Amino acid sequence: MPLTREDLTTVTGIESDQQTLEVSLDQLKNLVSPRAFTGETMLLNMGPQHPSTHGVLRLLLELDGETIVTCLPDVGYLHTGIEKNMEAKTYEKALVMTDRIDYLNNLGNNLVYSLAIEKLVELDVPPRAQFIRVIIAELQRIASHLVWMATHVLDMGATSVMLYAFRDREYILDMFEMVSGQRLMGSYIRPGGVWRDLVPEFMPALHEFVYNYMPYKLDDYERLLNNNPFWLDRTKGIGVITAEEAQAWGLTGAPLRATGINFDLRKAEPYAAYPELEFDVPLAYNGDVFDRYYVRIQEMREALRIIRQAMEVLPGGPFRSDNRKFVPPPRSELGHSMEAVIHHFKLWTEGFHAPKGEVYVRVESPRGELGVYLVGDGGPKPYRVHWRTPSFYNVQAIGRFSPGYMLADLIGIIGSLDFTLGDCDR
């Protein structure tokens, strides 16, 4: 039966005035195949409230039977205008908004934003802060990968892994609460260092976690999944991405490394204390859903290895820069130093001024390349902050790499690309 305009309105959700509808239908004509208009294929709306879209992602699917012909991702449901809001705050105050961008990589977002400011104003960070940043960033990577694994494997029908992964993530969130006072939105990494020094109970907890707890749990996950015939059937050979296409479509992180390209920003453009630590970049070569799973599991093991090294060589000394023009003085100085009071007042009312110029800084977030493009205009507020978020490009890639697979495989492809919609929409 041919599709009428009313059907299309129901499917696409576009129901504004007549003129908007005309334009939208015209645009849709170029995006789906002509068979959709004769009724040979079916247009199906998936999301934005579908449980396996990992947030509010809407997909407009064109299906031939159960095979996907076209997939059009529609994002923007979680757009909160963070880039615009950051322009209205001082550099330091805008930091709290970065936690809210990628809600599974909160402290990693602090890190990249702090690195961008430090590059723009040429601020040095003491070595102890560099190592604390690495420990925090790697813990965040494990926490994020655990949520990815929990939801991805749950979508494929394995409930127990979800329960185990969330249990283990709690240990990491408890540690974040120790250091920053917050489980999720820590704002712990600040320009010039970190907010405060590690608390005494943090190191024993971390030691217990990386030596006696997590390695054995990772073994358990691999025992549950690696030889599980259902898991292998649904992941091997599904959602294959070639190395050339992954680069052309801007994919980074595990989706890129699963195609065999050794690209990790911790190695390619080292930041924080990564140059002083030894670790491998896990690779796989088939570029399918299973390989992306495999790469991430190995990444968790490497993260544990990095944390172990960083714990051993964690230097003493200050935990944030003593450049008072950019970093507030410690509370203890305020009682007896007039200069400290002046600096404190200036930093929390006016903020520091950054020079005119533009920098682009990127780090390896759990999802891939997370970049901040920061423009300073000589004033105390960022003139423009742009977030290059890995999820934005991973969501785009669904539309390219899911056609040709079955509808049920789409769930696996979505999960394996590992995006958060907060990260995508900002």
Interacting residues toward other proteins by CB under 8 A: 14, 16, 20, 24, 27, 30-31, 75-76, 79, 81, 83-85, 87-88, 119-120, 122, 247-252, 261, 263, 268-269, 357-360, 362, 369, 371, 373, 375, 383-384, 386, 388, 392-393, 395-397, 400, 425-426
Residue closer to other proteins by CB (options 348, 360) is 360
The nearest distance, CB 131 to other proteins, in angstroms, is 24
The nearest distance, CB 409 to other proteins, in angstroms, is 22
- Cβ pair 406, 67 in contact under 8 A: yes
Query: What is the distance between the alpha carbons of residues 408 and 388, in angstroms, rounded to a whole number?
Result: 30
Residue closer to other proteins by CB (options 327, 385) is 385
The nearest distance, CB 220 to other proteins, in angstroms, is 36
Q: What residues are paired with 368 via a beta bridge?
A: 365
Cβ contacts of 211-215, under 8 Å, gap ≥ 24: 211/308, 213/168, 213/171, 214/142, 214/168, 214/171, 214/300, 214/304, 215/301, 215/304
Residue closer to other proteins by CB (options 160, 242) is 242
Residue closer to other proteins by CB (options 186, 382) is 382
Enclosing H/E stretch for 7: helix 5-12
The nearest distance, CB 315 to other proteins, in angstroms, is 26
Phi, psi torsion values for 59, nearest 5 degrees: -120, 130
Residue closer to other proteins by CB (options 375, 406) is 375
Residue closer to other proteins by CB (options 145, 426) is 426
The nearest distance, CB 404 to other proteins, in angstroms, is 17
Residue closer to other proteins by CB (options 247, 323) is 247
The SS3 of residue 140 is helix
Give DSSP secondary structure letters for 211-263.
IIIHHHHHHHHHHHHTT-HHHHHHHTTSS---HHHHHHTT--SHHHHTTT---
The nearest distance, CB 355 to other proteins, in angstroms, is 9
Amino acid residing at 44: L
Q: In residues, how long is the chain?
A: 426
Residue closer to other proteins by CB (options 41, 252) is 252
Residue closer to other proteins by CB (options 158, 375) is 375
Query: What is the distance between the alpha carbons of residues 288 and 7, in angstroms, rounded to a whole number?
Result: 35
CA nearest to 401, candidates 296, 393, 56, 65: 393
The nearest distance, CB 171 to other proteins, in angstroms, is 34
DSSP 278: -
CA nearest to 138, candidates 276, 305, 271: 305
- Measuring CA to CA, how many Å separate 83 from each of 314, 349, 373? 35, 21, 11
What are the counts of helices (DSSP H) followed by strands (DSSP E) for the chain? Answer: 19, 8
Query: What is the distance between the alpha carbons of residues 277 and 70, in angstroms, rounded to a whole number?
Result: 45
Q: What residues are paired with 348 via a beta bridge?
A: none
Phi, psi torsion values for 374, nearest 5 degrees: -120, 125
The nearest distance, CB 43 to other proteins, in angstroms, is 16
The nearest distance, CB 59 to other proteins, in angstroms, is 14
Residue closer to other proteins by CB (options 118, 291) is 118
Question: Tokens for 210?
Answer: 């990386």
The nearest distance, CB 193 to other proteins, in angstroms, is 20
